[in-house]
């Protein structure tokens, strides 16, 4: 606290990102980064950046990148917005499309940045309960909300809502904007991008941070009706006209151009996820069905907090949320086969020790 802080800053409760610790043999499974890295084409695009292109301002409208994304999804460039990570795209959506006199609805358990933006922009929130299996219930959303936002697959549960469920939600709330945050959709779901042309109230947000292995580049985008996109552009141009630098724009295009690399790395992550799920279940965990690049797993006796601490001692970092309904679970990102073998060995040793202590 400082006497120099504005009233607005004094009242903020900022988002706390997953830690980026240093450890010689660290196995980092806490922020859902890709274990495989971006396409070699991305590195070539980076190497080709010259001084002259850095001397100038980047294209404020990112025309080439937006055209590339539009082509990927069979949309027009006017239906695409790009930002500095999907966090920035989402922040602009909160201010530009979701702040209304009626409250914003989102699942009680979802991305923990949503309440932070509500605090920043003074948006009233309603938390929509998940069902007994921690799945999103489309019918539980209030009919009279001012906007809806949900991650699909949900975070941190990994549970997927089928496209038909998303479509029903969007159709049933035609008077407000529904934002579908698809950070993990490439790991097992079908994107609501296919519905964008039919629903003027649907905004689909994706990121290059997870399935395209570019969390360090900071590129996210939104797909929606041109009127929604224009709303986002208005906010952007009141905040930062150049959210994506020259490097990010070129490297992102290269990432989209290598479809084979992208599909192959998603396939590998999915295969590892299925193997890890089976191995954890064999150790007595209950694991929620995941369509993401992580699993949400409850250790035997719900001993998530002690297991989190024990793994940390071994240099294996996962994520633990000390919150009602999910404080007996760990969120474990899917790493390489070798990283997951180290995790499973540590988990098995802990289970054996815990079983011996209990027995
Ligand atoms: C990782 C994540 C994001 C943010 O991604 P960036 O593009 O890196 O800002 C947004 N939403 C959810 C649900 C995420 O898990």
Alpha carbon of 187 to ligand 1 centroid (Å)? 14
Quote the CA–CA distance of 259 and 163 in Å, as a whole number. Answer: 23
Q: Is the pLDDT of residue 19 over 70?
A: yes
Question: Same domain for 104 and 172?
Answer: yes
Q: Is residue 2 part of a domain?
A: no
Question: Same domain for 25 and 106?
Answer: no
Question: Same domain for 137 and 149?
Answer: yes
Ligand 1 pocket residues where CB is under 6 Å: 85-87, 111, 151, 155, 181, 183, 207, 209, 215, 220
Alpha carbon of 3 to ligand 1 centroid (Å)? 33
pLDDT (0 to 100) of residue 133:
96
Question: Same domain for 286 and 223?
Answer: no
Closest ligand 1 atom to residue 31 Cα is 1
Per DSSP (E only), the strands in 4-145 are 27-28, 80-83, 104-107, 125-128
Task: Give how many domains the chain has, as a whole number.
Answer: 2
Pair 302, 328: CB distance under 8 Å: yes
Q: Name every residue whose Cβ is closer than 8 Å to that of residue 60 and which is 6 or more positions away in sequence.
A: 237, 241, 242
Quote the CA–CA distance of 220 and 199 in Å, as a whole number. Answer: 21
Quote the CA–CA distance of 104 and 124 in Å, as a whole number. Answer: 6
pLDDT (0 to 100) of residue 341:
98
Alpha carbon of 248 to ligand 1 centroid (Å)? 17
DSSP per position, 156-181? TT-PPPPHHHHHHHHHHTTTSEEEEE
Q: Percent of the chain, pLDDT > 70?
A: 100
Q: Is the pLDDT of residue 326 over 90?
A: yes
Q: What CATH code is carried by the domain that includes residue 342?
A: 3.90.1150.10
Closest ligand 1 atom to residue 151 Cα is 13
Q: Is residue 287 part of a domain?
A: yes
Domain boundary among 203, 224, 257: 257
Domain boundary among 216, 241, 257: 257
Q: Is residue 8 part of a domain?
A: no
Return the residue whose CA atom lies nearest to atom 14 of ligand 1. 183
Per-residue pLDDT band at 359 (split at 50, 70, 90): low
Q: Is residue 86 part of a domain?
A: yes
Per-residue pLDDT band at 20 (split at 50, 70, 90): confident
Task: Summarize pLDDT for 222-255 with one digit per residue, the tens.
Answer: 999 999 999 999 999 999 999 999 999 999 999 9
Domain that holds residue 75: 40-257
Task: Summarize pLDDT for 163-174 with one digit per residue, the tens.
Answer: 999 999 999 999
């Amino acid at each position: 606290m400082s006497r120099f802080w504005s009233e607005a800053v004094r009242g903020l409760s900022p988002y706390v990102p997953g830690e980026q610790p240093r450890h010689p043999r660290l196995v980092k499974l806490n922020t859902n980064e890709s274990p495989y890295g971006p396409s070699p084409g991305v590195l070539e695009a980076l190497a080709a950046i010259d001084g002259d292109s850095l001397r100038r301002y980047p294209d404020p409208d990112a025309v080439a990148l937006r055209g590339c994304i539009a082509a990927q999804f069979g949309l027009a460039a006017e239906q695409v917005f790009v930002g500095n990570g999907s966090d920035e795209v989402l922040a602009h959506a909160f201010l530009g499309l979701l702040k209304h006199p009626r409250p914003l609805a989102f699942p009680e358990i979802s991305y923990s940045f949503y309440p932070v933006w509500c605090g920043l922009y003074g948006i009233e929130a309603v938390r929509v309960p998940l069902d007994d299996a921690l799945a999103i219930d489309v019918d539980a959303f209030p009919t009279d909300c001012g906007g809806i936002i949900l991650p699909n697959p949900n975070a941190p549960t990994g549970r997927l809502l089928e496209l038909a469920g998303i479509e029903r939600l969007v159709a049933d709330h035609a008077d407000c904007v529904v934002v579908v945050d698809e950070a993990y959709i490439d790991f097992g779901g079908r994107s609501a991008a296919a519905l964008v042309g039919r629903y003027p109230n649907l905004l689909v947000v994706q990121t290059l941070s997870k399935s395209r292995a570019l969390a360090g580049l900071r590129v996210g985008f939104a797909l929606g009706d041109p009127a929604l996109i224009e709303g986002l552009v208005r906010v952007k141009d009141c905040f930062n006209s150049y959210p994506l630098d020259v490097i990010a724009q070129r490297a992102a295009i290269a990432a989209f151009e290598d479809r084979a690399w992208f599909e192959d790395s998603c396939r590998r992550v999915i295969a590892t996820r299925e193997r890890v799920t089976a191995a954890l279940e064999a150790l007595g965990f209950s694991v929620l069905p995941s369509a993401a690049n992580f699993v949400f797993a409850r250790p035997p006796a719900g001993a998530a907090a002690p297991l989190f601490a024990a793994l940390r001692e071994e240099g294996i970092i996962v994520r633990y949320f000390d919150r009602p309904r999910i404080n007996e679970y760990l969120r474990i990102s899917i790493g390489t086969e070798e990283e997951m073998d180290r995790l499973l060995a540590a988990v098995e040793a802990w289970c054996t020790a815990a079983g011996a202590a209990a027995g």
